[in-house]
């Protein structure tokens, strides 16, 4: 029965919109049943700037995924990115009235709810509240305070903030495309699920996801996310530079970048020339590959230096912040020739390209293991993870009902019903902070109709 559970990841990017439908096979690996891709026309730098075009692109991608897989798509897990995302660090504490009782989930929820009340800039909303480490009374660096005694519970938080309007526009597009929002997740987190190993997250690693419109950064250490940032440049600005620098049209510039582009200008000789057909009978244009790689190198260097500044701000050079596993590059932009070597040269850190193939079933299409699909694979994984968690909760509630009926067989039915209700009232405690945000967001969309 478990194998029939399917989920859909919807990656609304600046260059492309991808709908990926899949399930887990008997070995726990991802079996992708269908994938749909459409050119993203209404999104710029991760932000929707044309609702109608975005809806059409979503529908196109979803229709293609449906026809390939033969499955009907109803709800999707959507990723949030864009230049409006920012993060901050915050410390907060609560004083517990009953310090003679152990700390439980309720105390942690109270602390997190307190952080959610932080006053943001106008038009901003807290998306994510991620606890880093806790402090109970005077004991620092506690990873899991549940079950401990203490009067004062304190924590450092990584808070992710985004523009309310930008987030709601994405939700509106999804709903208008005839889909339900199963969940929302931060795109760098989805990419991290797809390409990073648990060992890397423990040792310390920086994930750089180079998309078309933005470059996302997520830093992990001791298995916890420590820093996130969105740099408002991606592969598209490189294409734009080639277009301007070589006086050619965008389509040709993109083709040049993908086919002949290199981030390292030293390897091309002056004699290597590529000929571009002229427009409407005009003379063809000749471009040297050395000149092309110089244009690419200048822009890529700027993007990497921006990202490296964020890594420095996190404090990777200190012993506490040391990133032993170095950097993992993913996203469509990471496929640029010699980019890995350039990043190693600029940062002095170990670098590898992150492919999402580790989680895919052995017979998967090679195309799916491309770094360009890392976010979509991660979103699909999040969707399946959410479903399995819900199944566990359902089983627990069913077992509770059965136990209640067996124990209180002699007691009146309404008493039994009350017990079951109590169990169900307690159930939301296991919800993540992000699920709560999703629920509030869904309510807003329903009310706006």
Please state, in angstroms and rounded to a whole number, the distance separating the CA atoms of residues 381 and 370: 16
Which domains, ranges and CATH numbers included, belong to the chain? 235-300 (3.30.420.40)
**167-225, pLDDT tens digit by residue?**
899 999 999 999 999 888 889 989 999 999 999 999 999 999 999 999 999 999 998 88
Cβ atoms within 10 Å of 448's Cβ, excluding its own: 10
Establish how many alpha carbons lie within 13 A of residue 291's alpha carbon, considering only the half-sphere containing its beta carbon: 16
Please state, in angstroms and rounded to a whole number, the distance separating the CA atoms of residues 386 and 86: 25
**361-373, pLDDT tens digit by residue?**
877 788 888 999 9
**74-99, pLDDT tens digit by residue?**
999 998 888 888 888 899 999 998 88
pLDDT of residue 221: 92
Strand, coil or helix: what is 316? coil
Residue from 238, 259, 240 nearest 248 by CA: 240
**Phi and psi dihedrals of 400, rounded to 5?**
-60, -45
Whether the predicted pLDDT of 127 surpasses 90:
no
Cβ atoms within 10 Å of 372's Cβ, excluding its own: 26
Residue from 122, 118, 119 nearest 84 by CA: 122
Contact call for residues 333 and 215 (beta carbons, < 8 A): yes
Please state, in angstroms and rounded to a whole number, the distance separating the CA atoms of residues 23 and 30: 6
Cα 156 to the center of its chain, rounded Å: 22
| pTM of the predicted protein model | 0.83
**35-49, pLDDT tens digit by residue?**
999 999 899 888 899
Please state, in angstroms and rounded to a whole number, the distance separating the CA atoms of residues 436 and 128: 10
- Cα distances (angstroms) measured from residue 119 to each of 112, 115, 116, 122, 267: 14, 9, 8, 9, 52
Per the prediction, the chain carries an average pLDDT of 86
To 5 degrees, how large is the angle CA 84–CA 88–CA 89?
Answer: 165
Whether the predicted pLDDT of 135 surpasses 50:
yes
């Amino acid at each position: 029965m478990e194998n029939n559970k399917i989920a859909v990841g919807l990656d609304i990017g600046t260059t492309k919109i991808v709908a990926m439908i899949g399930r887990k096979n008997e070995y726990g690996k991802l079996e992708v049943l269908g994938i749909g891709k459409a050119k993203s026309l209404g999104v710029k730098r991760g932000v929707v700037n044309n609702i109608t075009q975005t809806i059409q692109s979503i529908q196109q991608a979803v229709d293609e995924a449906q026809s390939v897989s033969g499955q009907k798509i109803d709800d999707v897990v959507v990723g949030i990115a864009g230049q409006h995302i920012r993060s901050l660090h915050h410390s907060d504490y609560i004083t517990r009235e009953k310090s003679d009782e152990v700390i439980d989930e309720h105390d942690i929820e109270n602390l997190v709810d307190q952080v959610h009340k932080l006053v943001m800039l106008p038009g901003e909303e807290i998306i994510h509240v991620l606890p880093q480490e806790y402090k109970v009374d005077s004991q620092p660096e506690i990873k899991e305070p549940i079950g401990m005694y203490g009067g004062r519970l304190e924590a450092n938080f990584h808070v992710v903030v985004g523009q309310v309007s930008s987030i709601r526009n994405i939700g509106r597009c999804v709903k208008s495309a005839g889909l339900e929002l199963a969940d929302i997740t931060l795109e760098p987190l989805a990419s991290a699920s797809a390409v990073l190993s648990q060992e890397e997250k423990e040792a310390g690693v920086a994930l750089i996801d180079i998309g078309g419109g933005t470059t996302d950064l997520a830093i992990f250490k001791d298995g916890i996310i420590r820093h996130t940032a969105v740099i408002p440049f991606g592969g598209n600005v490189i294409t734009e530079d080639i277009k301007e620098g070589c006086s050619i049209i965008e389509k040709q510039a993109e083709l040049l970048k993908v086919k002949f582009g290199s981030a390292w200008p030293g390897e091309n000789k002056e004699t290597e020339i590529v000929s571009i057909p002229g427009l409407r009978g005009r003379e063809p244009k000749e471009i040297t590959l050395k000149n092309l790689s110089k244009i690419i190198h200048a822009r890529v260097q700027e993007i990497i230096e921006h990202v490296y500044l964020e890594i420095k701000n996190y404090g990777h050079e200190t012993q506490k912040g040391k990133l032993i596993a170095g950097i993992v590059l993913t996203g469509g932009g990471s496929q640029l020739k010699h980019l890995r070597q350039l990043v190693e040269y600029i940062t002095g850190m170990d670098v590898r390209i992150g492919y999402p193939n580790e989680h895919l079933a052995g017979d998967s299409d090679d195309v799916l293991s491309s770094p360009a699909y890392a976010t979509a694979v991660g979103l699909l994984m999040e969707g399946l993870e959410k479903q399995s968690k819900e199944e566990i909760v359902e089983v627990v509630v069913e077992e509770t009902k059965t136990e209640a009926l067996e124990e209180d067989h002699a007691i009146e039915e309404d008493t039994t019903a009350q017990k079951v209700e109590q169990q169900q009232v307690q159930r939301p405690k296991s919800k993540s902070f992000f699920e709560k945000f999703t629920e509030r967001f869904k309510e807003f969309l329903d009310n706006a109709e």
